[in-house]
Amino acid sequence: DQQVKQNSPSLSVQEGRISILNCDYTNSMFDYFLWYKKYPAEGPTFLISISSIKDKNEDGRFTVFLNKSAKHLSLHIVPSQPGDSAVYFCAASAKEYGNKLVFGAGTILRVKS
């Protein structure tokens, strides 16, 4: 039972354009959402997060949007750079579940120069 879903296994974007990565969740108890980025042979690294009391959080080129009614969040990268090529994982947590992170399957982003 996949509570966090990333339905696009991969995405290819031209350098300088916007990358939009999507994530859906099924559990309405989730109250905190995170994006992690992973390069080959390395562990995932924290990128950006958002609390359920917000609908947007921005950090430089990265913006996360949360639509609670649709149980959907997205990560926007503008402008995309070749160094952004990596696997992006969406994750969610809930205080009721001890704040353990539930991850999606990941989306491979390729930024072409």
Contacts with other proteins, residue ranges (CB under 8 A): 6, 32, 34, 36, 41-46, 49, 89, 91, 93, 98-106
State in angstroms the smallest separation of the CB of 20 from other proteins: 19
Closer to other proteins at the Cβ: 30 or 77?
30
State in angstroms the smallest separation of the CB of 113 from other proteins: 27
State in angstroms the smallest separation of the CB of 19 from other proteins: 19
Q: How far is CA 48 from the centre of its chain?
A: 8
State in angstroms the smallest separation of the CB of 85 from other proteins: 18
Q: Which residues contact 51 (CB under 8 A, 6 or more apart)?
A: 31, 32, 33
Closer to other proteins at the Cβ: 65 or 103?
103
- Residue located via tokens 């696009």: 8
Closer to other proteins at the Cβ: 15 or 74?
74
